[in-house]
Amino acid sequence: MSADLAKLNAAQAALDYVKDGMIVGLGTGSTSAHFVRLLGERVRQGLRVKGVPTSEATRNLAEQSGIPLLEISQVTSIDVDVDGADEVDPAFRLIKGGGGALLREKIVASASKSMVVIADEGKWVETLGAFPLPVEVSRFGFALTLERVRRALRGTKCGGDEVVLRTSGKANEPVITDGVNYILDAHARSIPVPEDLGAALKDIAGVVEHGLFINLARTVILGQAKGAVVKAHEAF
C-alpha cells in the first residue's frame, strides 16, 4: 500500500468536517499538506473559510493554495483543527512534532472546538513511544534540560531513556523551530502512562512544550489504500 495514497484519502475524508464560514486550524506535515491543497481546491470552488496555520511552511502552502488566513492573535476560537499525527493510540492520545511544529500545533488544537486527526493507518498503535517523542526546549541550558528529560523517561518507567538533540543538514546543525527553540527527540520506545510523562516534562524548567497531545483529538481518520476509516472518541 502506498502510504502517501493513504494520507491523501485521510485528508480527503477530513473535508467533510469543514463547513462554510468556519475558521479552520491548518496542521503541519505531509498529511496536513494534502489537506491544505484539497481545501484550497474547495475554496476556489466557492467554499468560504479562513485558516489559521500552525507553521510558516503551512502558511506558505496555504497562501499558494488560495486559502484566506488569520493570525492567531486575531482569533479567540477555532471551529475545527485538522492535523496529522506521528502515532495515535486507542485512547486518542497522540505523539506529534515530527515536523517540528508541536508548540504551535498544540496552541491551535487547544483553541479548537474540535480536533480532527488525519493519518495513514500505520500510525495507529496500541502503545505510544516507538516514534521518538519531540520535546521543544529553550536553547539556553538545553544540555541540562536534556538530562532532566532523560530522568523523566526513567521516572515514568518508559522503555528507553535515550534523548538526542535534533539536527539536520550536512553540518548537523541543531534544528531551530518557528519559535526559535531547539527540539529534543526522546526515544522512550514505550510510554506506559502518557499522562504521567506529560506532567513530568511540564515540570522541567527549559521545556517549552512536549509532543504528547492528550484529551484533544475528537475524531481520528485513518487513511487506507481505498478510502478511510473514521473513529470518533466516545468521551465527546
Is 105 one of the catalytic residues?
yes
Pair 182, 175: CB distance under 8 Å: yes
100 CB-side CA count, 13 A: 18
Q: Tell me which amino acid residue 99 is.
A: G
Q: Give the amino acid at 223.
A: G
Which three cell numbers, joined as nine digits, stand for 121?
493507518
Do 183 and 99 meet the contact criterion of CB atoms below 8 Å apart? no
CB neighbours of 215 closer than 8 A, spacing ≥ 6? none
Q: How far is CA 114 from CA 3, 79, 121, 150, in A?
A: 25, 7, 21, 33
Phi and psi (nearest 5°) for 54?
A: -100, 5
Of 87, 105, 121, 209, the active-site residue reads 105
- Report whether 85 contacts 94 (CB < 8 A): yes
Enumerate the active-site residues: 105
